[in-house]
Structures are given as structure tokens and as C-alpha cells.
Structure 1
């Protein structure tokens, strides 16, 4: 009898930690679905800044801002528009942006998300193999609201309780040159932590999950109308690119959770089937751990300005921003960070800093 009692007591002692571990696991699973594709509910983008600088014979514009009766609107800039400048700040043309939720893309054109976010677990670092993957559509954008921001250096976040959230933002931009021959345009992208004055990257900041795609749309002698996040209509995500041009994706590193460096590429039935090889990303000086600038890269070719009149060579392009859900830096503990994105366009290839 005593032997049996000892055995029962021993079994109970072994069972207690097992039950505790099971309970802990259950709690972790029940609270781990707030990241990766759902991480945006904690993201603070109230300090989001986007600016661009053009050098040489280049001028850049964010479009003409109309602030008359009714809602403000953005239209393509006229040849004589005062918006053409060497330096632009997004806050001068937009005043707020919706929250960003992580998505995933292999080419910057087609974005994908998990249909049922409860299939994301382990603090946002894992997705169930049989989770359904669906394509991101235009209606899934985080809206950019036209109008001048109170602080032109920053876009304010919409009301934290607002349902205005999405998986990407598209910002229409135009660049032009007076050069009389076709010229290649290079771009350097710098991404910094909006909450820190320190120029270095320390640890796995969310800013390492930021992806910026430059999508060439149209060239000619005048600025062509483009749709941005403020005017996108429901439907398939706009994935068209100007003939003979390519999309460049910028980021501070390309490290993903998957050992094979994979992201989502295709609305396959399951997450496991949709995971494909990651795209070529213009990273920060060879993935240097503390770098904040993605190396200078040719992004498109500008047509020549007319030799007989005052027309320019103009390129209309979209800057698409999203958080890469497969990035190693996209998880719960990084959710409270924001970032600044700065572009430098030039006609010469420069070395990143």
C-alpha cells in the first residue's frame, strides 16, 4: 500500500509541471495571434516621414494638391506647377495615413496575406502550413489622406480606434529632366527609426521589415495621371509596369524566418505551397547590421527632353510601402516602432552610406 502511495505521489509530482507547461502553451497560443499579418494594431506610424531629394538636372513632384470645397485631392502636376522641386516632403501633400498590417511579396507588384489571421502563432513568427493565402487587393490599402499635415515633416496616424488599416500604401510621384538625351535615374533609399536620433540600427528593429518598391508606370513629355492610396478603387492590385522597365525593392536586410529565404508568391491554397524564393532586394550596404541606407541602384530611364521646345522628359512612378511579414524583424516585440523613409534621386551612381 505504501509503495502504491509513493508511486501515486511521484506520478502527481511529474504531472504538475506537465500540466503547467500545457497551460503555458495554451496561453501562448491564445495570445500569439497579434503579430505578423495582424501586427499593425500596435504599430505607431504617427512619426512616419517620407521625403525625396533630386539632384543634377532633376525635379520631382508629389502632384498638385487641391484644397477647395469638399475633400482635398491629388492630381498629376502641370508643366508649370510650383510643386516641381528638388526637395519634397509627403506631409506637404498628405496629412494622415492608416495603420499598416504586414503582407508578403516576391516582386513588389503582387502582395499576399493570410486569409484567417488565427493561423498565425508563436508571437507572429509562425504560420500554420495549411493556412489559406489570398491576394491583397486595392481595397486593402491603408489610406493616405490628401491635405497638408500640421507638421509637414510627419504624417499623423488616424485615430487609433479607426478601422482605417491596410496592407500597403501607394504614393504617386513624378520626376522630370531637362536633359536632351535619355538618362538613367539612380535612387538611394534611407530608412531610419522615427523614435530615435541614433543613426545606427540596434537589434531587430521593425524598420528592417520595411519594404519600399519603386514601380515605373509611364514616361513622356508630360506627367501622366497615377492612382495612389488616396484614390484606389476595389479590385485587383495594380501590377502593371512600364515597358522595358523593372521594379526595384529596397530594404535594410532580406533575412526571413525561413532558412531558404522565402516569402509569399502566389495565392496558393496553403501557406506551405505559397512560400517561394525571396526577391532580389537592394539591401543596406551588403546587409551591414548597423546600416540605414540601401545601396544606390538604377530604377528607370527618363526620356529625353525636347530639343525644340520647353517640354521635359517625365517619368511617373509609384512608391509602394509595406511591412514584409516574412522578415525576421516582423514580430510582436517590434510593433511599437515607426520609421522615416528618404529617397535621393540622381543621374550618377553613388555609393551608399
Structure 2
């Protein structure tokens, strides 16, 4: 552990590294969409390490600015008095169980709209059908996804990048063939606003502007054979670079390989009370409930130790152009996307690690 911290301290000035490690253990079950027969995902361990150097500072309460934060900082969060006896408390969530959820990126008062899907077989037709309920966020270890507030402070407006090592991977030694869960992982960022660095703590935490949403899709270019089969069962077509392709002949997709073209997907955007058959869980057939997620930030594939899989990749990915000076509040989300084709039960039984890295350096060399 000490060696790892020493290594992080040697990184270039102007970089901020956020490491969130989630070990996710799932039981193997039959093949269904949305992990139908597997209701929860147990998290056995969560380790958070955040380090910062010159140019960027980070905090979980907009008061104590550090070069390193850990789990206890996130779970402690903040409970700030506005000076008149009115308190504002964080809604940081580090749950003990996860389940597949979905979002199209919509927000309400600073929080991303997240929906929990339930798939059941119709008693008459036998078809699998989806319903969805909207989830609320509250402080603690309950819920079905990870969410927490961070505050970034910088003295000058500069571009902010995702480090090459960001991503979601299955841990080394994970059982096979249950290896596709990482393909359904997502990371989301909601920018709630920016205030002057001289603002009060209450002004810093009391930001719910919904100014920008980023959905980051690690491993966008990888699929398992099970995921491709799942798509054949429940989707008529899929989109690659805006063009429709029939699922019955996905000739340009290779299972178990990276480098596949980006495929768009339709996230849930509203409560689904009346069950919808899985073949119609898309924006074309039901645009009142689904919306195509556009502009997802795609990440380079990474290996299990989060080094770049392609050694020629030396540039970090631009995340925000001219990230403003002052204190910016970001809401961070990490989840398993139920509408991803690789979110099926053969992907269970695998351990996952998430990593999110911020830097002001355009190059990682």
C-alpha cells in the first residue's frame, strides 16, 4: 500500500487521480436480460484513494482540501449550516448491494434519474417483460448504484482530461466464461455548478445546476458471445456510427476482442408501470420510456492493472474544455447498465474494479 502511495505522489503536477475499487461478486445463473434471476450483486470490498498535486485540489465536504481522500471521507461527506440553522447534508451512497439499473442521462435538481428494472415472464405468453421504478438517492450503504459528491478546486481555467488508466476491468483470476460484466459498466458525472474559491462552504455545497452530464462507457468496444446472443434474442437492429444493422447478422462484431465499433443503446428515461416485452425496450418502439444515449465518452481498453492496453496510446482524453477556475461540484455515479447487451446472467460470478482518473495534462508521458 505504501509503495502505491509513493508511486502516485510521483505523478506530474496538475494531475488528480481518483481511484475507486469495487469488488463485485455475482452468482452464476441462467441466461436472462437484466440479470433476471439474480436480484443483487454483493460488494465484498470498496477501497477509495484520491490524490492531488499542484493545480487541482479535491474535497468531499468543500472545506477540508486534501491531496488524498479515502472511504471515510466519502461516507462522512458534509452536513453544512447555512448560518441560520438550516442544514444541507450530502447523499453519498456506497451500497452493500448492487443491481442493474439504467438511465438516459436525465437529471432532476442535480441528481441523475436512475431506474431499477425488473424482468419477469408473462404468465400467458411466456415472453420476458420489463418494468422499471425510479430510484431515490439517500446517504448510507443502501441502494443499487454508487453515487457521491466531490469538489474540485483549481486556480486557473484549464482543460480537464480523463487519464488513460480510467476504466472498468474484471480482476485477474476471475472465473470464465463469466467475464462480460465489465462491458456493461458505466461511470457518470453531473456538473452541478462552479462558485468562486472565496465562497462560503454552504455556497459550495448548495449547487444543483444540472449544467452538464457525462456518461462514460468503458470497454465500449468489447462484447462476449453471450452478449451478442442476447442482442439477437431481444433486439431487431443495433446502431454502429448511426447506421442500423440487423442483429441476425452481426458480422462486424467479434466476441472477446477489442476494437469493435461503438454501439449506441437506449437508456430508460421514465417509470415503466405497464410491462414491455424485451424486444420492444427501445426508443423506436417506446420513445416515451427510452432514449438513445448519445455522446457517451468512450475509453481506451485497459488491462487488469489499468495500464493502457495499447502502448502507443499516450494522450489522455479531453473531458471538459476550459474547466473553470474556482470550486466545481461534481456528482459521480458508477453502475451496471441494464440496457447494455452484455448485461446478462452469464456475466455473473466476476470481480470488477472501477478506476476514474482526472488530470490537467494532455499527455500521460
TM superposition score category, shorter chain reference: 0.5 to 0.7
Aligned to 1:208: 183
Q: Tell me, in whole angstroms, the C-alpha distance in 1 between the residues paired with 2:58 and 2:305.
A: 26
CA contact (8 A) 1:55 1:86 kept: yes
Aligned to 1:266: 269
CA contact (8 A) 1:175 1:314 kept: yes
Aligned to 1:191: 167
Deviation per CA, 1:89-144: give whole Å up to 9, x if none. Answer: 33554396231110122326333343x53149xxxxx953xx4444x2315x6x64
Aligned to 2:246: none
Aligned to 2:144: 167
Aligned with 2:358 (options 345, 348, 352): 345
User: Quick one: structure 1 residues 290 and 168, their matched pair in 2 at CA, closer, same or farther if it must change by over 3 Å?
Assistant: closer
Q: Tell me, in whole angstroms, the C-alpha distance in 1 between the residues paired with 2:36 and 2:49.
A: 27
Q: How far has the Cα of 1:315 moved from its partner?
A: 0.8
User: Quick one: structure 1 residues 202 and 331, their matched pair in 2 at CA, closer, same or farther if it must change by over 3 Å?
Assistant: closer
Aligned with 1:77 (options 40, 56, 62): 62
CA contact (8 A) 2:52 2:58 kept: yes
Aligned to 1:58: 56
Q: CA RMSD in A?
A: 4.0
1:89 equivalenced with 2:54 (yes/no): no
SS of alignment partner, residue 205 of structure 2 = coil
User: Quick one: structure 1 residues 42 and 132, their matched pair in 2 at CA, closer, same or farther if it must change by over 3 Å?
Assistant: closer
Aligned to 1:112: 115
Q: How far has the Cα of 1:190 moved from its partner?
A: 2.4
Q: Tell me, in whole angstroms, the C-alpha distance in 2 between the residues paired with 1:92 and 1:104.
A: 27
1:299 equivalenced with 2:312 (yes/no): no
- Structure having the higher strand fraction is 2
Q: How far has the Cα of 1:298 moved from its partner?
A: 1.7
CA contact (8 A) 2:157 2:322 kept: yes
Deviation per CA, 1:38-79: give whole Å up to 9, x if none. Answer: 5764523113334334344111122xxxxxxxxxxxxx232x
Q: Tell me, in whole angstroms, the C-alpha distance in 2 between the residues paired with 1:91 and 1:284.
A: 29
Q: Tell me, in whole angstroms, the C-alpha distance in 2 between the residues paired with 1:34 and 1:42.
A: 14
CA contact (8 A) 1:252 1:291 kept: no
TM-score normalised per structure 1: 0.57
Deviation per CA, 1:203-232: give whole Å up to 9, x if none. Answer: 7431221111011112112452269xxxxx
1:251 equivalenced with 2:181 (yes/no): no
Aligned to 2:98: 100
1:329 equivalenced with 2:342 (yes/no): yes
User: Quick one: structure 1 residues 264 and 345, their matched pair in 2 at CA, closer, same or farther if it must change by over 3 Å?
Assistant: closer
Aligned with 2:205 (options 216, 220, 225): 225
Number of residue pairs the alignment of both structures matches: 250
Structure 2, unaligned runs of 5 or more? 1-28, 77-93, 107-111, 239-263, 309-315
- Structure having the higher helix fraction is 1
Rg (Cα) greater in structure: 1
SS of alignment partner, residue 148 of structure 2 = strand
Q: Tell me, in whole angstroms, the C-alpha distance in 1 between the residues paired with 2:170 and 2:46.
A: 7
